[in-house]
Chains A and B, each alone.
Chain A
């Protein structure tokens, strides 16, 4: 880095003092009569309250042949408590200035309620009616399935989501749920009926669920409100299959998803790593951030700031319930595809030679000292607590993770990366124009190049 001379009139650069102390907001655990776990976190002055309900009914627990039923169940919940109710439920939340959202990923079916804290009780009463007696009507499910088919087509046309889908498809064992799209494919979604959705919903077990409430809860008996709203929610159906626990397998792989005429290639580099309960998780997170966490990370310094191949590259750990995925991603100019892959591989191997003290210190700040800003809202706090619960992690996991980040040394981060990420066993997905990028990518000699069709 060049050092510029000090301009005369500019005062000297200040030297910052020590970082102010901060800890992740505390949460009070409880349990309702039906076994549903509760957590509340009182956050003074946060006038927008957040309620997050995580149900152990993610796509990883879908019955065979019904890929996408978790996602459709989540969407159908938002249609309300009466068949053909139309806008009734949404209007009721709107009147409170509240929103209800629901979605499913591999880990959980997640329901999110945001509301000004003064109207929390009214909004919880509405949520209660949805959870106790959703309509999940045939006509709504049929229409939502049609909308889902459209979303699948849109996702596949988007280079980034298409690359993510291919990465999972080739990294996970072919018969595992994790290898297939979370929201299902056109075949499975096309055959899901209202009865399937109702059966799936009826199998959800309250004792495997957690509800989190966060916000300025002073003077509110949250546990009582939650008990009234959710305390008699019960299972009536048969048990869902056990969650998919398949782990990603090693590469090397190089897969091109052919997108004729694409002016950019979307690149995804993936490698399986242990889950968040593993002692190396924080050190791996530090290594990933050194590679692609910010503008001054190794990948961005090289591919963006030096070469101009991309608007930006990112490396991070994806959090699945039972494992993680180290991922590095960028959209690069088509002509720069092979050089960008070569440069990326150079960077991805460079961590094996070590991480500098400065890189490590900077990363610890970027990950841990940024936490107060990351968790400033009730929404962010509630979502993090709920996610830990959904992944069977202890409620103090968010703070423990930050502590582990701070305790990471350069040696520890480099060793964790070397132990869990083999650069020569990466899976590389390139969504781009195969006619232009196939030969240059093959010449890199990383792995045999396979080309698949975009809808494949």
Chain B
């Protein structure tokens, strides 16, 4: 999607609003980012941000239990919410005729959620979330790898050391008062960004937002965030999980620079070149040439208020051979950097990734909310290809030498007892 004019406005209560016209399809995407995620949770209450996200669908002051979903489904809406380390987002893409209703529903739960909080709803959604944890992490092979890696990559107590799903014990311990406090602390208009993209008139849309959200009280200022800044990981830490898995698995994590820096753009390209697909160095070496792995992939998780992370995963019978081959490739990459063609390809793929993430109204609305929340500038969405293109081969080599060094990473292996 080419750069498009954005209409930005901040309500008196602090809610930031971004509107972008896109008249190709008669849809409106509504996307609300709250700047609260698992990194804001207190010890003993991991999983609260995500559990709370579930409670946002259980009714509010003027919406009965189950009614949010029923109204959205009967509007033909695609709707959901997700909780990550740094934020919780709520979104619905509706036929434009139903934009007003979608905004009203979001405003009602932003303003009046506690009116509908009940012990019965909390207990029910706690059971649902515990089953979500079982389904996605506990009952599938390697399902808890990411949880182990975060615990090894970040020091104990660090905001990113625990994952959003939380522990069963903490979920069990969560009370209604915890939920009320969580809402009162974080779900304020000033801690949110509302983006609307689609077949809309910007002025009319801003007027609607003012009507539905403008009367909500600003609430207290949110607490300051813990400082999560860390340098590169400095040593090798390995944890072996004895498990009945189809074949041994190797999972590695390294720290990367924070999002918003030129260094992270370089690190993203470095990770792409190393393990981004079947044309990458690690894939070609481990899967195609050495045949010591049958699957390999690498990806980046971006964090703003602390180090980002690179994740490398491989399946193969000999995890020591996998580790050694990864180290050799990292060493060569840090010493010589990418060749020119690799850098060109990585930039082309970054542009393609930008097109993919912004081609739908849903994707663009989410990206606008993200950039506005994290960098105060929604238009930063459109400069992603230019930021990638500005990275030089020397930048990639430098960032790899510092952050993607051999022999220093968190590792989790799966297989029979060692």
- Chain B residues with CB under 8 Å of A116's CB are 351-352, 355
Query: Is A154 a contact of B73 with CB atoms below 8 Å?
Result: no
- Cα–Cα distance between A146 and B287 once the two chains are bound (Å): 11
- The answer, yes or no, to whether B111 is at the interface (CB within 8 Å) is yes
- Chain A residues with CB under 8 Å of B333's CB are none
Given contacts A4-B61, A150-B247, A362-B73, contact A376 B131 (CB under 8 A): no
Residue of B nearest to A117 (CB): B355
- Chain B residues with CB under 8 Å of A87's CB are 278-280, 284, 288
- Cα–Cα distance between A159 and B339 once the two chains are bound (Å): 43
Query: Is B128 a contact of A310 with CB atoms below 8 Å?
Result: yes
- Cα–Cα distance between A143 and B212 once the two chains are bound (Å): 60
Query: Is B104 a contact of A20 with CB atoms below 8 Å?
Result: no
- The answer, yes or no, to whether A373 is at the interface (CB within 8 Å) is yes
- Chain A residues with CB under 8 Å of B315's CB are 150, 154
B206 to chain A, nearest CB (A): 15
- The answer, yes or no, to whether B332 is at the interface (CB within 8 Å) is no
- Chain B residues with CB under 8 Å of A9's CB are 111, 215
Query: Is B74 a contact of A147 with CB atoms below 8 Å?
Result: no
B415 to chain A, nearest CB (A): 13
- Cα–Cα distance between A305 and B140 once the two chains are bound (Å): 24
- The answer, yes or no, to whether B417 is at the interface (CB within 8 Å) is no
Given contacts A45-B24, A48-B355, A157-B141, contact A150 B294 (CB under 8 A): yes
- Chain A residues with CB under 8 Å of B140's CB are 157-159
In this complex, the interface size class of chain B, counting residues with CB under 8 Å from chain A, is 35 or more
Q: Which of A87, A293, A295, A373 has the most CB of B within 10 A?
A: A373
- Chain A residues with CB under 8 Å of B212's CB are 10-11
Contact of B341 among A11, A95, A333, A374 (CB under 8 A): A95
- Cα–Cα distance between A14 and B204 once the two chains are bound (Å): 15
B contact residues vs A (CB 8 Å cutoff): 1-2, 24-27, 57, 59-67, 69-70, 73-78, 93, 95-98, 100-101, 104, 107-108, 111-112, 115-116, 123-132, 134-136, 138-141, 199, 211-212, 215, 245-247, 277-280, 284, 287-289, 291, 294-295, 315, 341, 344-345, 348-349, 351-352, 355-356, 359-362
- The answer, yes or no, to whether A377 is at the interface (CB within 8 Å) is yes
Given contacts A97-B352, A143-B291, A263-B139, contact A376 B101 (CB under 8 A): no
Prevailing SS type, chain B contact patch = helix
Q: State which residues 64-97 of A face B: CB under 8 Å.
A: 78, 86-87, 90-91, 93-97
- Cα–Cα distance between A373 and B79 once the two chains are bound (Å): 11
- Chain B residues with CB under 8 Å of A304's CB are 128
Query: Is B100 a contact of A16 with CB atoms below 8 Å?
Result: yes
Select the stretch in A348-356, A363-371, A385-393, A409-417 that faces chain B: A363-371
- The answer, yes or no, to whether A44 is at the interface (CB within 8 Å) is yes
Query: Is A97 a contact of B349 with CB atoms below 8 Å?
Result: yes
- Chain A residues with CB under 8 Å of B345's CB are 91, 94-95
A456 to chain B, nearest CB (A): 15
- Chain A residues with CB under 8 Å of B97's CB are 16-20
Query: Is B246 a contact of A150 with CB atoms below 8 Å?
Result: yes
Residue of B nearest to A46 (CB): B359
With A7-B108, A91-B345 already in contact, 12 other A-B pairs whose C-beta atoms are closer than 8 Å: A5-B62, A22-B25, A22-B95, A97-B351, A116-B352, A305-B66, A305-B124, A308-B126, A332-B131, A365-B74, A370-B76, A370-B77
- Chain B residues with CB under 8 Å of A5's CB are 62
Residue of A nearest to B355 (CB): A48
- The answer, yes or no, to whether A294 is at the interface (CB within 8 Å) is yes
- Cα–Cα distance between A306 and B120 once the two chains are bound (Å): 10
Q: State which residues 135-174 of A face B: CB under 8 Å.
A: 143, 146-147, 150-151, 153-154, 156-159
- The answer, yes or no, to whether A30 is at the interface (CB within 8 Å) is no
Query: Is B341 a contact of A91 with CB atoms below 8 Å?
Result: yes
Query: Is B27 a contact of A311 with CB atoms below 8 Å?
Result: no
Given contacts A11-B211, A97-B349, A153-B247, contact A264 B128 (CB under 8 A): no
- Cα–Cα distance between A158 and B246 once the two chains are bound (Å): 10
- The answer, yes or no, to whether A242 is at the interface (CB within 8 Å) is no
- Chain A residues with CB under 8 Å of B62's CB are 4-7, 10, 13
**Ordered nearest first, which 3 A-B pairs have the shortest CB separation?**
A369-B76, A308-B127, A90-B279
- Cα–Cα distance between A134 and B98 once the two chains are bound (Å): 50
Query: Is A264 a contact of B139 with CB atoms below 8 Å?
Result: yes
Q: State which residues 290-332 of A face B: CB under 8 Å.
A: 293-296, 301, 304-311, 331-332
Query: Is B134 a contact of A47 with CB atoms below 8 Å?
Result: no
- The answer, yes or no, to whether A286 is at the interface (CB within 8 Å) is no
Query: Is A366 a contact of B131 with CB atoms below 8 Å?
Result: no
B94 to chain A, nearest CB (A): 8
Q: Which of A14, A78, A146 has the most CB of B within 10 A?
A: A14
